Structure 1
Amino acid sequence: MSYLALANEGVFPITKDKDGQSQSELPATGFSFPGTIQGEGKLAGVPSLFIRLSGCNLRCIWSMPDGSFCRCDTPYASFAPERTFSMAIDDVVALVQQNLGAMKHVVITGGEPFLQHKALADLCLELKKIPQLHLSVETNGTLFSREVAQHIDLFSISPKLSNSNPTDEKITFYGLKPSGPLSYHAQRRKNLPVLQKFIDFSRENNKDFQLKFVIGNHNDYLEINKEYLSELKNWNADDILLMPLGATMEELKKTSKMVLEMAIQNGWRYAPRVHIELFGSIAGV
């Protein structure tokens, strides 16, 4: 039996266990029923269940326009995976089935899901046996697996710009040790051949994808054009999404208008973070 390493909330938001028994506590949404919405990207607003995998091969720490720092908004799945636990794939699928209700959308996120590509392929195979289920995966676009990709309907790819590099100043600010992904993030954050594989696979197999860039600087559009879009083929303008940097409403206020202007001027999509607007900066929503 295959197992997955899950992070923090694992499968969320749910109200029933794998046997269909009601849980004693409400999910983080505060609702008495399972589910939330996809808060980002092309499918923002779609009712969804999430599966959060643990572990990431990158360590993003961004600079805000005012010079302050903002690191990955799910550090418990990357920087400090303190609540990682293993779960059999059959149990993950059972949790989804018991809590799916009228929803038809499951999002696999992380961390970086493709780190667990073998078990992930098994999970996706089983999930796609659920009639009419739409399956999205959120990835940083540095790893690709055809075994996983064949089961995915939407690839939500978030390539990391140079602003995400964990510089010495950022590492010192957070009291971190410059080891592991912190030491090689800058060299591995951009993998153009892998990004092209995602695009080509999507075009050849009637899949959808989005390149969702986190924006924190006024000139980030220059890097997107020069370092990514000019080197990639077979993308359309509506596949390019700009998402304002920030894990709280206060941080989003610093970047949202700038990102909106950048999206309009370049003919790309603006991607709000609806879940933060609705629930604030909490996990499990």
Structure 2
Amino acid sequence: MSKLVLANEGVFPITKDQNGQALKDCPATGLSISGTIQGEGKLAGVPSLFIRLASCNLRCMWELPDGSLCRCDTPYASFEAEQDLQLDTEAVFNLVKNNIGDLKHVVLTGGEPMLQHKALSTLAGRLKEELRLHLSIETNGTIFAEDVAKYIDLFSISPKLSNSDPNPGKLDHYELKQSGPLNYHPQKRKNIAVLQKFIAYCKDNGKEMQLKFVVGKHDDHQEIKEEFIAPLNDLPPTDVMLMPLGATKEELALTSKMVLEMAIKNGWRYAPRLHIDLFGPKAGV
């Protein structure tokens, strides 16, 4: 039976185990029920369950407008995936089935979910065909896998800008050495051919998508236009979203108004981070 490697919270937020028995601890949301809301993108505010897969092929390190740094907001699913949980797809399916209640949306996130596309396609197929759920996938847009894509309703694609590159100063700050994915991030983070595959697949198959850029610098709109939008075909402006950089309310305060103005000027959509407003930076919410 195929297995998935999940990050430490795995399927969340939940109140029952895979056998339908009540868990002792309350979910990280502080609520006594399973589920949370999607905090980002076109479906912001929609009640959802999340499945967080471990491992990523990128290593994002961002610089805020004041010069301070912040890493990927889920480093435990990318940089430090040491609390991995290996479960077969049957166990993950049962966790969803026993906790979904009246919810209709499941979000496949990471890390980078497409790295595990073979096992993920098995799970996604069951979630779609047996539970009739709406499936979103959050991906960095560097890998396209049709075996998963055929079950997805919304592709939330977040291409990484050059501000995410792990340069020597950032590595020194986090006491990391230039090795593995830290070496390859600048070359891998932008894959126009793969992004075009996503766009064409959505157009040909009636799927929804969004290109969601994390923005932390005043000139990021130029890079978005010239290096991403210009080479792509058939991308409506309504599918381009700008999300302010920041994993805490304090960090978001440094970028939100700048990003709001940038979105309005360019006719793109502004994407808030509702889960940070509600729960702060903690995991599992």
TM-score range relative to shorter protein: over 0.9
Letter in 2 for 1:167: N
Tell me, in whole angstroms, the C-alpha distance in 2 between the residues paired with 1:66 and 1:233: 35
The count of corresponding residues between Structure 1 and Structure 2 is: 285
Tell me, in whole angstroms, the C-alpha distance in 2 between the residues paired with 1:169 and 1:224: 24
Tell me, in whole angstroms, the C-alpha distance in 2 between the residues paired with 1:110 and 1:204: 26
Tell me, in whole angstroms, the C-alpha distance in 2 between the residues paired with 1:129 and 1:173: 47
Deviations 1:191-246 (A, max 9, x none): 00000000000000000000000000001000000000000011111100000000
Tell me, in whole angstroms, the C-alpha distance in 1 between the residues paired with 2:129 and 2:95: 14
Tell me, in whole angstroms, the C-alpha distance in 1 between the residues paired with 2:247 and 2:184: 24
Identity of aligned pairs, percent?
Answer: 64
**In the alignment, what sits opposite 1:245?**
245
1:270 to 2:270 alignment: yes
**In the alignment, what sits opposite 2:173?**
173
Spell out the pairing of 1:17-96 with structure 2 (5 A cutoff). Answer: 17-96=17-96
Spell out the pairing of 1:176-191 with structure 2 (5 A cutoff). Answer: 176-191=176-191
Three-state SS of the structure 2 residue aligned to 1:283 is coil
Deviations 1:148-200 (A, max 9, x none): 10000000000000000000000010011111110110011000000000000
**Deviation at residue 131 of structure 1 after TM alignment:** 4.2
Tell me, in whole angstroms, the C-alpha distance in 1 between the residues paired with 2:246 and 2:273: 9
Letter in 2 for 1:147: D
Tell me, in whole angstroms, the C-alpha distance in 1 between the residues paired with 2:256 and 2:216: 9
**In the alignment, what sits opposite 1:12?**
12
Tell me, in whole angstroms, the C-alpha distance in 1 between the residues paired with 2:41 and 2:199: 16
> Gaps spanning 5+ residues in structure 1: where?
none
Moved over 3 A (4+): none
1:209 to 2:205 alignment: no
**In the alignment, what sits opposite 2:236?**
236
Tell me, in whole angstroms, the C-alpha distance in 2 between the residues paired with 1:242 and 1:21: 41
**In the alignment, what sits opposite 2:225?**
225
**In the alignment, what sits opposite 2:99?**
99
**Deviation at residue 129 of structure 1 after TM alignment:** 1.8
Root-mean-square deviation (Å): 0.6
1:123 to 2:123 alignment: yes
Three-state SS of the structure 2 residue aligned to 1:210 is strand
Letter in 2 for 1:194: V
> Gaps spanning 5+ residues in structure 2: where?
none
Deviations 1:113-152 (A, max 9, x none): 0001111111111111234410000000000101110000
Letter in 2 for 1:255: T
Letter in 1 for 2:250: E
**Deviation at residue 19 of structure 1 after TM alignment:** 1.0
Spell out the pairing of 1:126-165 with structure 2 (5 A cutoff). Answer: 126-165=126-165
Deviations 1:79-99 (A, max 9, x none): 010111200100100000100
Tell me, in whole angstroms, the C-alpha distance in 1 between the residues paired with 2:234 and 2:20: 44
**In the alignment, what sits opposite 1:110?**
110
Instruction: Indicate if the aligned counterparts of 2:97 and 2:131 stay in contact, CA closer than 8 A.
Output: no
Three-state SS of the structure 1 residue aligned to 2:129 is coil
TM-score scaled by length of structure 1: 0.99
Letter in 1 for 2:207: K
Tell me, in whole angstroms, the C-alpha distance in 1 between the residues paired with 2:130 and 2:218: 44
